[in-house]
Chain A
Amino acid sequence: MATVAAVIASTHHPFYYRASTSAGQDRPPFADEWVAKIEAFRQTLTRARPDVLVMVGSDHFHQLWLDNMPQFLVGKAPVYDANWYNEEREFGLPRMVLQGCEELSEHVLRGGLDAGFDLAFSNELRIDHSVTCPIITLRPEADLPIVPVYTNIFAPPLPQPKRFVQLGRAIRQLVESWPSRQRVAIIGTGHLSLELGGPRQFGPHGPDPEFDRRAVEWIATGDLESALAGVTLDSLWEPGNATHGFMDFLLMMGVAGDNAKADYTDSLDLFHTMEAYFTWYPDGGPTA
């Protein structure tokens, strides 16, 4: 069976690409520290020697729209074009092409449906920065096949937080039951407190540093019980109007497992939102 070589959860910050590649007067003062942290975080994936990446993220009204909105969707395609005109325009993100792993997509879809998750699927999916940001930060070579998994954290009505955890647990089991000798890294990105298009946006820090502190503690310690007791669909509006993206962290905590302490934790307090990076090694780690 396949090996879960690493479980990785992080924020996805679309400004990283521009900040890290800019020079001279255009380079923001925090860029060097940010790049150093990302390069250290990248090593946690490199050391795991993955062959395939399961990428959990959320479409930002690019391909998925309100006339036909899935709650959870798995891509099943041989190739994924990536990034959109408005991401190029606003963030300077490059157009990308990623290879797919249809065999694992098929296994996740079949097994997920049989486990009670009515997963949508897409055979032609142009993915966006929720998946390409972690490719840029963690695997800039973009040389590994992926299985994209999209969640709806964006367009109410949303699934309950516990459903994200349940799906995360299922994805872990499905990867571990994939009849393959490949090493799979499961990577997901979400948000801590975040406000977009509201009065608390683009402040000097994330809109709710206290929520961020608690959330980082929940994730780093795998404390799903406290995390699920601490958030509801209604309460997630309070730290910031885009904080439902935290549910993708909950999903990744489900992948990592109850009370699974992260093997690597880091964070960076940036303007606008806090960055946070977590890696778990379910098989004991690259040196085991």
Chain B
Amino acid sequence: MSKYLVNKFLYTVDRDPELVERYREHPGETVAWWEQEEAGRILGCHGAERSSWLMLTDAERTALAGHDYVALFELGAHPFLTLTLFIALFERDYAEPLAFQHEYAARLRHWRLPYPDIAT
């Protein structure tokens, strides 16, 4: 489990307009590039100072590459990060206001408390 790294992907993509579009159009390529080039970047530090040990699990990589927000919820990704980024990715494809958010909730409706642990 590397919830922290999943969250770091969601966080760093969500705050960058170009990455949001790249992830929408080419999710598998974006996740592979990001894990190779960006996962070890220590935010706020010079690029040469990198973390050496951060790696997604297969399940996390598959969930991110598949735009699978249900799996991300179940893996314990921070739900605010997931929701915010996925609204940016897909709300535009729905005609009615909040339609994407309602579908998102419906796809999670098999979940009861306690939800997956989001502590990192």
Contacts and interface: CB of A to CB of B under 8 A. Distances in A.
Interface string B3-47: 010011001001101000000000000000000000000110000
A85 B15 contact: yes
12 contacts: A61-B11, A62-B15, A86-B84, A154-B80, A155-B78, A156-B118, A197-B78, A197-B83, A202-B98, A202-B102, A238-B113, A271-B98
A116 interface: no
Interface of A: 60-62, 65-67, 84-86, 89-90, 154-157, 196-203, 237-238, 241-242, 271
A241 B82 CA distance: 13
Contacts of B120: 66, 155-156
Instruction: Pick from A89, A197, A200, A237 the residue with the most CB of B within 10 Å.
Output: A197
A85 B17 contact: yes
B55 interface: no
Given A85-B17, A156-B118, A202-B102, A65 B80 contact: no
Interface size on B, as a range, is: 35 or more
Contacts of A156: 118-120
Given A197-B73, A237-B114, A237-B115, A89 B80 contact: no
Contacts of A201: 83, 101, 104-105
Interface of A, secondary structure class, is loop
Contact of A198 (B4, B88, B111): B111
Contact of A197 (B82, B109, B114): B82
Given A61-B11, A84-B15, A198-B73, A66 B102 contact: no
